[in-house]
Amino acid sequence: MSNEDFVVNAELRDDQGKGASRRLRREENKVPAIVYGGRKKPQNITLSAFEINKHLENEAFYSHIIDLVIDGKGESVILKDLQRHPAKGNAMHADFLRVSKTKKFVTKVPLHFINEETSKGVKMQGGTVTHSLSELEISCLPGDLPEFIEVDLINVEVGQTVHISDINLPKGVESVALSHGADHDLPVAAIQKGRGATASSDEEGGSEEGAE
């Protein structure tokens, strides 16, 4: 888990609806949001557009416990959902989920693939890596939440597939998919024969036929 602390300041809002949300974004440079979960009722809030968009530039923000300060009172949350402008990419609406230090919760964290270029399948066999998943849904306590999960491909060869069960998950972290049974052990990445290797093999075969 990253040692970086994220603090997001927010204000409660009473006005709702698309018209009110557009006005907030256009006239006040604010982003409408909602925080829910736990024993409290959902709350409609507003965020500083500059502040939230700055945080969103950091990958760790998406899989990190956030200190959401609403009118001076802080609570621990995670970013559960985000709507972006289709062209500009800036935040349009955000959903935050309250979390408890003593209760497990479900979220998604990014996968970082390491040793791709130096893996057996790529470096020695000329294969290419394909990714089936870019993030993994996990269950854990807030204190065990990883910023990302590494998938080491160093020993993967051409024709082999890495599944969720092959990933070394951090202590205290469980795969939601695997909790549903072995038939949910989805593929994460694979190394396939490269086009160059296929073409080379075909040429060699053609030469032998010609020689015969």
Domain that holds residue 56: 6-99
The verdict on 40 and 110 lying in the same domain is no
pLDDT level of residue 203 (50, 70, 90 thresholds): very low
Task: Tell whether 212 is covered by a domain.
Answer: no
Q: Answer yes or no: is 58 within a domain.
A: yes
The CATH number assigned to the domain holding 176 equals 2.170.120.20
CB 153 within 8 A of CB 161: no
DSSP structural state of residue 166: G
- Res 22: pLDDT: 65
* pLDDT higher than 60, residue 209: no
Average pLDDT taken over every residue of the chain? 87
Stretch 181-191: mean pLDDT? 95
Q: How buried is 170 (Cβ within 10 angstroms: 0-12 exposed, 13-18 middle, 19+ buried)?
A: middle
116 pLDDT exceeds 60? yes
| Boundary-marking domain end, from 69, 99, 129 | 99
What are the C-alpha distances in Å from 199 to residues 119, 129, 158, 195, 206? 21, 18, 16, 6, 11
The answer to the question of residue 25 being in a domain is yes
Cβ proximity of 69 and 9 under 8 Å: yes
Short-list 54, 53, 46, CA closest to 22? 46
Compute the radius of gyration of the chain from its Cα atoms: 23
What average pLDDT score do residues 2-18 get?
78
Domain end call among 70, 99, 128:
99
The helices-and-strands tally (H runs, E runs) of the chain is 3, 13
CB 188 within 8 A of CB 129: no
Distance of alpha carbon 20 from alpha carbon 23, whole angstroms? 5
CATH number for the domain harbouring residue 87:
2.40.240.10
Q: How many residues are there in the chain?
A: 212
| Boundary residue ending a domain (99, 126, 152) | 99
Average pLDDT on 106-121 reads: 96
pLDDT in tens, 130-180: 999 999 999 999 999 999 999 999 999 999 999 999 999 999 999 999 999
DSSP track, 15-58: --SHHHHHHHHHHS-EEEEEEE-TTSPPEEEEEEHHHHHHHTTS
